[in-house]
A and B are shown apart, each in its own frame.
Chain A
Amino acid sequence: MSPKRFTLDPVDWSAWMPAVQAETATPIQREALANSPSATSEYFLTLAHDVESLAERSPLFHATMYVPRGLRRAERELATVVVSIINGCVYCSSVHARRFVELTKRPEIIRALYDEGLDTKLEPRLRAVVDFAAKLTRSPMAMTTADLQPLRDVGMSDLEIHDLVNAVAMFANANRLMQTLGEPVVGEPA
């Protein structure tokens, strides 16, 4: 297996099977696609083969990442980048690292995570997010109530911790779909 090259550049994705064609999608597929993050991406057109599950997953994904109040959006994005690095999902990490940078204007945090690893030095609140996301991803059954303390020490409410748990869990899901139905296509330098 080639080494994973995580990036802040946009990455494409190519399915390992024919995707649903937008022109021939059924009305139910069109509706599920319209409620997905992108109705025209090859990824969602592939998931549209099983339209019942896509129609549930897209609103679940949307609520997890974008529901107002609770955990800051940038911290949800950061958590999903951590999960994607651990699971090796180059595509997912690119998309959500760029969302984090859009929200925070702090690409240096992502570069440090990519280049130096998850142990890189971070401010306490981000450190707490990274550590919790990493452990819940790698060893969910080893989690104990002691793992809540670093989050509470930096001032997180239980609503915020709830949102963090769900963002991490959602990317256990996303990374498994992305990496087993197709592959990232990283642009070649011109």
Chain B
Amino acid sequence: MIDPSPPDLLAAIIGASAGSPIDRIRRERPDIVRHTQGSHDVLLSPQDPGGVSPAERALIAWRVASLSGHAGIAAHYRAMLDQRDKALVDAVPDARLATILDHVVRLTTAPGSATRAHIDALRATGLTERDIVAVSQLVAFVAYQVRAAAGLALLVQDPAA
């Protein structure tokens, strides 16, 4: 079991131990490491969550990671969700949350299929512009995180000789 809130989540997920070849490479890219973690932190635990609660944010991230098939990242967000609101795991979503989750699935699996009507539907549930941007950023971040982890894990398993 990995630390539930490691200071460098991506390193924990791919198993990049301190001093390893991939760790040394990542240290050459400190802004990427810092702002990958920073994006995670502000999207999952913002100072002001606005209209999308911290538990809902964990649910959304868990859904994206699960749909993407990344067990390690999904486990991270599931643990976060369990801690924030365990009941949300199996709850039948109300109309508002169902509209949000439909959009989350669309962004994850068919990003080219979104239309203005989908944004209008989110607004009709009471989401503000900021909430809609935050949901989009969250889905887009987890899509990034899954590919960064899947690609960099290869360099953990098989570093250059």
The answer for the CA separation of A67 and B33 in the assembled complex, in Å, is: 13
Q: Categorize the interface residue count of chain B.
A: 35 or more
CB neighbours of B17 from chain A (8 A): none
A-B pair number, CB within 8 angstroms: 178
Smallest Cβ-Cβ distance to A164: which chain B residue? B151
Determine how close the nearest CB of chain A comes to the CB of B83; give it in whole angstroms.
21
Smallest Cβ-Cβ distance to B37: which chain A residue? A56
Determine how close the nearest CB of chain A comes to the CB of B35; give it in whole angstroms.
4
Interface residues of B in 111-161 (CB under 8 A from A): 111-114, 116, 118-120, 123, 128-130, 132-134, 136-141, 143-148, 150-155, 157-160
B22 on interface, CB distance cutoff 8 Å: yes
Q: A50-B137, A180-B114 are in contact. Are A140 and B68 (CB under 8 A)?
A: yes
The answer for the CA separation of A16 and B106 in the assembled complex, in Å, is: 16
- Dominant SS at the B interface? helix
Could you list 28 A-B pairs, sorted by A, with CB under 8 Å? A17-B119, A17-B129, A17-B132, A49-B130, A49-B132, A52-B42, A52-B47, A53-B137, A53-B138, A54-B137, A59-B35, A63-B32, A69-B28, A87-B111, A89-B112, A140-B146, A141-B68, A144-B154, A159-B28, A162-B25, A169-B145, A169-B146, A169-B147, A169-B151, A173-B141, A173-B143, A174-B140, A180-B119
Interface residues of B (CB under 8 A from A): 21-22, 25-26, 28-29, 31-32, 34-36, 38-39, 42-43, 46-47, 68-70, 103, 106-107, 111-114, 116, 118-120, 123, 128-130, 132-134, 136-141, 143-148, 150-155, 157-160
